[in-house]
Structure formats: C-alpha cells, structure tokens
Amino acid sequence: MKKQTLVLATHDDQLARRWHALGEGWTLVRANRFDALPAGATLALIDAALPDLPAFTHPAWAKLSPTLRMVFASSQPNDPEGLAAINAGCSGYCHAFASAEHLSQVLNVVAAGELWVGRSILARLLRAVESRTAPPAAPAWAGPLTEREREVAQRAALGEANADIAAALAITERTVKSHLTSVFEKLGVNDRLQLALRVHGIK
C-alpha cells in the first residue's frame, strides 16, 4: 500500500515534533499556516491553534472539504467546537495531544473515507436525535388525549382552520371547537399556536 501524504498543519513546533512521531505509514508534510496547505493534499491534521485559522462559517472550509479530508485537532476539545468542525466539513475531531496510537486510528478511519468523532460528541448527537426520532413512535403530547382529539389537534397544529378540520373529518365546526377546548384544557395551553409549538416539540 503506497504511503499517503499527510499534512501536519500547526504553528507549534513542539506539537509538530509530537505529531512527527506517528511517522510510519504516512508521508509527512509540515504546514505552518492554514493558507499554506498544499493544493493537492488529500489528508490533513489541523491544529485548532493555527494563527490564521478562518471561522468555521468561512467559505474556505467549504472549498477545501470536497477534496481534502481534514482532522481538526484541539488542545481543549469540547462538543460545540467539535460539532462546528464537523459541520464545516472536517472529517474528524480529536485531541491535539492524543497518543500516537489514537491519532493513527483517527487518521486511518478518516483516510478510509469515514468520519471520526469522539464518544462525547456522539453521545450528544444521539441524545439530540433520540428526542426527535422517538416522538413518531410515541407522541408524548398526546398522552391523555382521545383518538378524536388527537386527530383534531394534529390538524389544528398544522394550521388548518376549524372549518377545514370540520370538513375533513365530516363533522360540525362546533364539534371541532369542542374537541379543541378539551385538548387545550388537557395540555394546559391557551390557543392553537401554543398547541402547535407543543405538538412540534418547540417549547
């Protein structure tokens, strides 16, 4: 297997020496600045402390990400920064002073085209989706509601007028209002807008 070129992008000589320790398996190239990333490179380990590092929202990241697989290394990793890095197009996020074994593993994974994020971030991601993949199975808001009330609430929460709901369910507008009154009371809200926010998980 031919050695792949790995760009070590850091301004910190000490860190650079440390990173050079993971020498086997890679053709190492040093870059002192973000601007100095070699054009043809395909894999880079990027120090969060680089002086000229652009903000994650800067288009430079989007420009690089399609061709360059970037691992963002922070000396003080934290979840928000990690998420931002991944969102910016980085393929990995880890501790800058991690062990050579760990860094190698991260780089191997990323070089293989996968993404790497740590336990902590993954756990946070899972928690985030959990709360939005679970609802469809068990609509938490519909706890004490009856079947009919749920139908009406669902439609009201999507912005349908009472008259439309009545027509759709083949009942009177009066009945729709009746159901909604029950729904409001049971869910402890005052109007259909509050209901909508509740149903859709806002507030």
184 binds DNA (CB under 7 A): yes
Binding partner selected for residue 179 from DNA, its own copies, none, CB under the kind-specific 5 to 8 Å limit: DNA
CA-based torsion, 64, 18, 103, 76: positive or negative: negative
Look at the chain and count its residues. 203
Binding partner selected for residue 122 from DNA, its own copies, none, CB under the kind-specific 5 to 8 Å limit: its own copies
Phi, psi (deg, nearest 5) at residue 73:
-115, 120
Please provide the DSSP assignment of 103-114 as one string: HHHHHHHHHTT-
Candidates 33-41, 71-79, 104-112, 180-188 — which segment interacts with DNA by CB under 7 A?
180-188
Output 48 or 169, the one with its CB closest to DNA. 169
**C-alpha dist (Å) from residue 194 to 139, 166, 182:** 16, 20, 14
Element at 26 (helix H, strand E): strand 26-31
Minimum CB separation from its own copies for residue 137, in Å?
Answer: 7
Minimum CB separation from its own copies for residue 12, in Å?
Answer: 25
Binding partner selected for residue 171 from DNA, its own copies, none, CB under the kind-specific 5 to 8 Å limit: DNA
Output 5 or 105, the one with its CB closest to its own copies. 105
Binding partner selected for residue 181 from its own copies, DNA, none, CB under the kind-specific 5 to 8 Å limit: DNA
Q: Hunting for tokens 């009856």 — which residue is that? A: 146
Output 6 or 156, the one with its CB closest to DNA. 156
Instruction: Tell me the C-alpha distance between 198 and 14, whole Å.
Output: 53
Output 31 or 92, the one with its CB closest to its own copies. 92
Q: Which of residues 110-169 bind DNA (CB under 7 A)?
A: 146-149, 156, 161-163, 166, 169
CA-based torsion, 139, 144, 148, 149: positive or negative: negative
Minimum CB separation from its own copies for residue 81, in Å?
Answer: 12
| Greatest extent of the chain over all pairs of C-alpha atoms, in Å | 77
Binding partner selected for residue 120 from its own copies, DNA, none, CB under the kind-specific 5 to 8 Å limit: none
Output 9 or 165, the one with its CB closest to its own copies. 165
- Contacts with 83 (C-beta within 8 Å, 6 or more apart), sequence order: 121, 124
| Cβ–Cβ < 8 Å for 90, 114 | no
Residues that bind DNA (CB under 7 A): 146-149, 156, 161-163, 166, 169, 171-175, 177-181, 184, 190-193
